[in-house]
Amino acid sequence: MITNLTDINRKSFHQESIIGLKEVNCFFGINGAGKSALANYILDSDKEHAICFDTKFVENNMLVTDSNDSVVTGVKLKISEQVADQNRIYTLNSQIKDFEKSINGNNQKIFQSKNNLYNILNMQLQEARVQFQVNNIHQKPNAELNPVEALNKWLREPKLTTTIELNNVSDINRKINNLQANMNYQRTILSKIAKINFKELKKDLETIVIKPNSQVSQIFIAWISQGLTLHKISENRPAETKKCLFCGNTFNSKDIAKKYFPLIKSE
């Protein structure tokens, strides 16, 4: 606790001294006498223990105001347990914001995955139209909004796209031909979709890939190339046990060449 102040230099004070400060001190005087300046000086001198019970302190810690901070609606007084509860509320609010940020990120990934699946379905439909030379093959309803449901419908509900009135043998033959074309079309779609490993696709879509022409990748490739040159490693030289000039660990030059030369040459 501060008991004496010497050589005060702030606003209204010039090398002033105050002796005999107690645990609680009251300053009063006319406007402009230096009450706030003296209080701020004490606060700066002992931030760990000093508290200034002024108008700002009352507004921040004791008064309850309306949403516009213009009308006092009550008085609040925080004791130790309430302060702890308030701190927990702040912590929970921070965690909620983190959760919301995570949810938004996951929703963005889901949206991108759905968009990719929709594009795959459309590509397969276009290939089928070209292969069977028909234009009456249509996408499932709401496929763009819910491509997963559209895919499930394609898998479990093969839908015939033609209706022919059967009046004679020619009509029956046309019906058979249409059914056969539709079956072949369904087999093409299902066989290609069956080859898709959606777990691997999701993993690949979530992988962050640096653009080859970006500054980061170019710097990285140049750094690797310089390291290979410094260690005298070439693509076709026999395997050697070398010592790293940077970390001191030993390594097989052939293994390094096999791993990094394809990366350097990659387009």
Give me the tens of pLDDT residue by residue for the chain, a chain 267 residues long. Answer: 788 878 777 777 777 888 788 888 888 888 888 888 888 888 888 888 888 888 777 777 777 777 776 766 666 665 566 667 778 888 899 999 999 999 999 999 999 998 999 999 888 888 877 877 777 778 888 888 888 888 888 877 655 455 556 677 777 888 888 888 888 888 888 887 877 778 888 888 887 766 666 666 778 888 999 999 999 999 888 899 999 999 999 999 999 999 888 888 875
Four-CA torsion 120, 124, 129, 132, nearest 10 degrees: 180
For 119, list phi and psi in degrees, rounded to 5: -65, -40
> Is there a contact between 1 and 46 (Cβ–Cβ < 8 Å)?
yes
CA–CA separation, 103 vs 127, rounded Å? 36
Which pLDDT value is given to residue 227? 93
pLDDT digits (tens, 9 = 90+) for 168-217: 777 788 888 888 888 888 888 888 787 777 888 888 888 776 666 666 67
Quick one: CA dihedral 213, 219, 223, 229, positive or negative? positive
Token digits of residue 171: 């009509």
Q: How many Å apart are CA 131 and CA 114, to the nearest integer?
A: 26
Separation of alpha carbons 238 and 241, rounded Å:
10
pLDDT in tens, 139-173: 888 888 888 888 888 877 655 455 556 677 777 88
Please give the torsion angle defined by the CA atoms of residues 83, 85, 88 and 92, in that order, rounded to the nearest 10 degrees: -130
Residue 1: per-residue pLDDT: 77
